[in-house]
Amino acid sequence: MSRFLTADKEAARLSMLRCLDLQPDVYCLGHRGPLVNPPAKDIAKLRSRIESLRWWPMIGCGDS
């Protein structure tokens, strides 16, 4: 989820939101260690960022 890997950004955004809906225990974000059982507030923040497309990369960009 660090950045789009497709030219169709809307499809990528919707796909990322569907992945969050699955509520997995482990999130592998690539090029860093996995997130295991992240707090709900962190997932809510991630969802907000994906919905608004305000920040890239999605993870590790601070608490803005």
The proportion of the chain whose per-residue pLDDT surpasses 90, expressed as a percent, equals 17
The whole-chain average pLDDT of the chain stands at 77
Closest of 17, 25, 26, 27 to residue 52, by C-alpha: 17
pTM for this prediction: 0.67
Domain count, the chain: 1
Alpha-carbon span 54 to 27, nearest angstrom: 21
pLDDT in tens, 14-43: 888 998 999 999 988 767 788 899 899 988
Write out the residue range of the structural domain in which residue 39 sits.
1-64
